[in-house]
A and B are shown apart, each in its own frame.
Chain A
Amino acid sequence: EVQLVESGGGLVQPGGSLRLACAASGFKFSSYSMNWVRQAPGKGLEWISYISGTGLTSAYIASVKGRFIISRDNAHNSLFLQMNSLRAEDTAVYYCTRDRRFPRGGYIDFWGQGALVTVSS
């Protein structure tokens, strides 16, 4: 059974940093690209970052580029999101997700339960 379990969420002051982790199990982790998707309170879904199975390729949405870093440790089946220079508008539930990605197209087939990040003074 595929499982994705996020940790590391919490309350942080504006300008601060936080590192989210996602523990994956039930599948060959290194064979899949992974993403972080967030959802602000009462709002819709927003894809923010992706990393390839090898970790060599990544991408970010413009609003987090230069502040957030996605990484993975395939030896320990773990995905990470280092979030720096946090802003109030980064307040959201952050979901770790697995995708099926092709040369063109793809979809997210598994989601974690989410980790709440609150940026407030």
Chain B
Amino acid sequence: DIQVTQSPSSLSASVGDRVTITCQANQTISNFLNWYQQRPGKAPQLLIYTASSLQTGVPSRFSGSGSGTDFTLTINNLQPDDFATYYCQQSFSTAPWTFGQGTKVEVK
């Protein structure tokens, strides 16, 4: 199975900060990498698909980049609603689709 490793597992930031989360796959996955946000007690929501495409309705302060094995989620001008846990997920393999361990963005 393809493994994806996120870092860091948690970070502290302030409103207005720029936040970067990375995801590394253990083999090349082209650009088949998605990002999700999960607020406490809620279901996850899709933010970014195929590495850099912004899902409809997602604010433009979210962006994704990368290809091959290394990917990045960037949040510019962090807002109060953005304190949440973020997951990457690969879909290069038909099955299983695998998620990273998650990155919790906390208030500094």
Contacts and interface: CB of A to CB of B under 8 A. Distances in A.
B6 to A, nearest CB: 9
Interface in A74-119: 95, 100-101, 104-109, 111-114
A95 B44 CA distance: 9
B95 A59 contact: yes
Interface residues of A, number: 24
A80 B6 CA distance: 31
B92 interface: yes
Interface stretch (A9-17, A21-29, A42-50): A42-50
Nearest to B56: A109
B101 A44 contact: yes
Interface residues of B, number: 26
A95 B43 contact: yes
Contacts of A114: 43
A61 B96 contact: yes
Given A45-B87, A104-B32, A111 B99 contact: no
Nearest to A59: B95
A105 B46 contact: no
A2 to B, nearest CB: 12
Contacts of B44: 45, 95, 108, 111
Interface of A: 35, 44-48, 50, 59-62, 95, 100-101, 104-109, 111-114
Interface of B: 30-32, 34, 36, 38, 43-46, 49-50, 55, 87, 89, 91-92, 94-102
